[in-house]
């Protein structure tokens, strides 16, 4: 093992030590087993199915013994965000090198002080002062800007915060979704295992997902991939489709569909019946939708490129809105989020999300005999992009929050800091990398109660945040 990996392992051990060992260690078991060992498809892009701030039949006879054992001898190396020559200002100039170990020791001391704050007599510093010191050191240690780190500090307890930050340093495993329009999961698994692919089921909650722990060939360039037998897709992006629960012969809209992973999953659950509109405002990304639905043998879909805020005239049984967002839940895949997002970005996303959601609700047919549902999702963990958006819609459209039907995940917030949301938002579901070993995600399901728009409300959003 080279020196850099040895150092990274030391920091992983330090993270476990700061928060008492066992709990943190358990939180990373799955992530450690796959870190750095998945061979992604060279020169073949992963089918990224998360909408990040861009305007723009089931296998019943599955037997787990069919699959390779999925064990991995990886040692859980965690790559740090700063190399040894980097300075606190990121300049990397020699002679003023930042000692990352000193930063860690300060974090450890500050956390200890916060834990014992109630017993300090007299108090050396206030809790606010300790949190300010912790924020600055965590920004240095993990490479975040002040704004993003402050939001995370507000979102999590001190103990959970570092588990979340460390989970963001671990690359999520590659997950593929079996395309049941062309094959069964057992048959797909056997074919890939014969090619030397090491894989396992994604979990009991999915009948189509497979986690790829290692492959001697690019997983995005196998004959099975090219033949449309599977889609490379984040496990978390399965969730909104499962919550939508599409039925055969329905009329369904995927409002922000690129690159087509969720839309093609919807088509598979509909068994190519009914009518599916896969829409995206970005015409260039619509090409990827068209390519994927062709490869995956989707026959009940059309691709459109319309601003979701201007969609009208057609009423659907179900609508999926996987809204453009800050991407704060997919930092392990896109580390640029750590420094690129600002408060104005979050406000802009929240404003767009509210506009899209109001119009998405207007596209749902409340009188549908089988549907009348809308699912809203984001790959963000920020409340402003999730619960605040749903609460805003509840005040302006005839809808109610209903259970998602998902068997795991944490309940949505009904209160956050000084804000209060409708009690029904506890039915929403939150997913975190440090708890569920998948990208951070939010899923809410709404039932439309009547078709006419309330006379006193327009589709315009006059305020970024719901009051």
Query: Is residue 266 within a helix (H) or strand (E), and if so which, with residue range?
Result: helix 261-269
Question: Residue 307, annotated ligand binder?
Answer: yes
- Let me know if residue 50 belongs to a domain: no
Residue 2 assigned as binding residue = no
Give residue 285's pLDDT: 95
> Is the same domain home to 313 and 433?
yes
Which residue matches tokens 């995005």? Answer: 220
113 belongs to a structural domain? yes
Is 391 annotated as ligand-binding?
no
In the predicted structure, residue 133 carries a pLDDT above the cut 50: yes
| Two structure tokens written together for 2 | 């080279």
Known binding residue 257? Answer is yes
Residue after which a domain boundary falls, among 117, 151, 167: 167
**322 is an annotated ligand-binding site residue:** yes
Q: What local confidence, expressed as pLDDT, does residue 3 receive?
A: 42
Q: What is the mean pLDDT of the chain?
A: 82
Separation CA 83–CA 99 (nearest Å): 10
Strands 318-322 and 373-378: parallel
227 annotated among ligand-binding-site residues: no
User: What would the pLDDT profile of 393-432 be if each residue is shown by its tens digit?
Assistant: 999 999 999 999 999 999 999 999 888 999 999 999 999 9
Q: What is the pLDDT of residue 418?
A: 83
180 found inside a domain: no
- Do residues 437 and 354 share a domain? yes
Answer yes or no: is 259 a known binding residue: yes
Give me the pLDDT at residue 454, please.
Answer: 56
Q: How many CA atoms lie within 13 A of 281 on its CB side?
A: 16
pTM: 0.80
In a domain, 206, yes or no: no
Q: What pLDDT digit, counting tens, does each position of 146-167 carry? A: 999 999 999 999 999 999 999 9
In 3-state terms, what secondary structure has residue 210? strand
388 is in an annotated binding site: no
Q: pLDDT tier at 113 (50, 70, 90 boundaries)?
A: confident
Please check whether residue 290 is in contact with residue 303, taking contact to mean a CB–CB distance below 8 angstroms: yes
Q: In this structure, are 295 and 422 located in the same domain?
A: yes
Task: Flag whether pLDDT at 453 surpasses 80.
Answer: no
* Residue 349 is assigned to a ligand binding site: no
The answer to the question of whether 263 is labelled as a binding residue is no
Helix intervals (H) in 116-197: 127-142, 146-155, 158-167, 185-194
Task: Compute the 3-state secondary structure of the chain and give helix, strand, coil in percent, each to the nearest 5.
Answer: 40, 15, 45
For the annotated catalytic residues, the residue numbers are 379
Q: Express each pLDDT in 50-96 by its tens digit.
A: 555 543 344 444 444 444 333 333 333 333 343 433 434 444 444 45
Q: Do 346 and 442 sit in the same domain of this protein?
A: yes
- Look at the chain and report how many structural domains it folds into: 2
Final residue of a structural domain among 167, 197, 228 = 167
> Does residue 220 belong to any structural domain of this protein?
no
Structural domain span for residue 7: 3-12+78-167
List the beta strands (DSSP E) in 353-425. 373-378, 399-402, 410-411, 415-416, 419-420
Q: 241 and 163 in one domain? A: no
Answer yes or no: is 195 within a domain: no
327 inside domain: yes
Last residue of a domain, one of 149, 167, 185: 167
> What's the rounded Cα separation, in Å, for the pair 124 and 154?
23
Domain assignment of residue 307, yes or no: yes
């Amino acid at each position: 093992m080279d020196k850099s990996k040895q150092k990274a392992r030391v920091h992983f051990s330090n993270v476990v030590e700061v928060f008492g060992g066992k709990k943190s260690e358990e939180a990373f078991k799955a992530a450690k087993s796959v870190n750095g060992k998945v061979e992604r498809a060279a020169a073949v892009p992963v089918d990224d199915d998360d909408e990040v701030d861009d305007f723009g039949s089931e296998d019943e006879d599955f037997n787990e013994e069919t699959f390779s054992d999925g064990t991995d001898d990886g040692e859980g190396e965690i790559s740090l965000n700063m190399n040894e020559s980097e300075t606190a200002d990121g300049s990397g100039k020699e002679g003023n090198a930042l000692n990352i170990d000193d930063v860690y020791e300060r974090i450890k001391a500050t956390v200890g002080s916060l834990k014992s704050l109630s017993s300090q007599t007299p108090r050396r510093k206030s809790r606010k002062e300790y949190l300010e010191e912790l924020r600055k050191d965590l920004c240095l240690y993990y490479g975040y800007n002040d704004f993003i780190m402050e939001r995370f500090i507000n979102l999590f307890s001190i103990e959970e915060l570092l588990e979340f930050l460390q989970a963001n340093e671990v690359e999520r495993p590659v997950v593929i979704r079996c395309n049941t329009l062309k094959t069964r999961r057992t048959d797909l698994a056997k074919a890939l295992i014969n090619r030397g692919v090491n894989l396992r089921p994604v979990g009991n909650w999915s009948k189509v997902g497979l986690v790829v722990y290692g492959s001697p060939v690019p997983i995005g360039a196998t004959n099975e991939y090219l033949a449309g037998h599977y889609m490379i897709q984040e496990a978390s992006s399965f969730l909104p489709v499962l919550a939508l629960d599409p039925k055969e012969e329905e009329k369904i809209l995927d409002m922000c569909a690129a690159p087509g992973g969720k839309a093609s999953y919807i088509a598979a659950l509909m068994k190519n019946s009914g009518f599916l509109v896969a829409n995206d405002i970005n015409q260039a990304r619509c090409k990827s939708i068209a390519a994927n639905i062709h490869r995956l043998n989707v026959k009940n879909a059309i691709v459109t490129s319309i601003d979701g805020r201007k969609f009208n005239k057609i009423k659907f049984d179900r609508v999926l809105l996987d809204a453009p967002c800050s991407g704060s839940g997919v930092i392990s895949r896109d580390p640029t989020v750590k420094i690129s997002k600002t408060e104005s970005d979050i406000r802009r996303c929240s404003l767009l999300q509210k506009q899209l959601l109001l119009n998405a609700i207007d596209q749902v047919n409340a009188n549908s005999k089988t549907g009348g549902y809308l699912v809203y999702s984001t790959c963000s963990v920020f409340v402003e992009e999730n619960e605040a958006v749903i609460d805003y819609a509840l005040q302006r459209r005839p809808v109610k929050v209903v259970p998602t039907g998902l068997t795991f995940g944490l309940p949505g917030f009904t209160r956050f800091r000084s804000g209060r949301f409708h009690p029904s938002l506890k039915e929403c579901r939150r997913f975190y990398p440090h708890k569920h070993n998948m990208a951070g995600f939010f899923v809410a399901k709404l039932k439309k109660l009547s078709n006419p728009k309330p006379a006193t409300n327009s589709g315009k959003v006059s305020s970024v945040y719901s009051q």
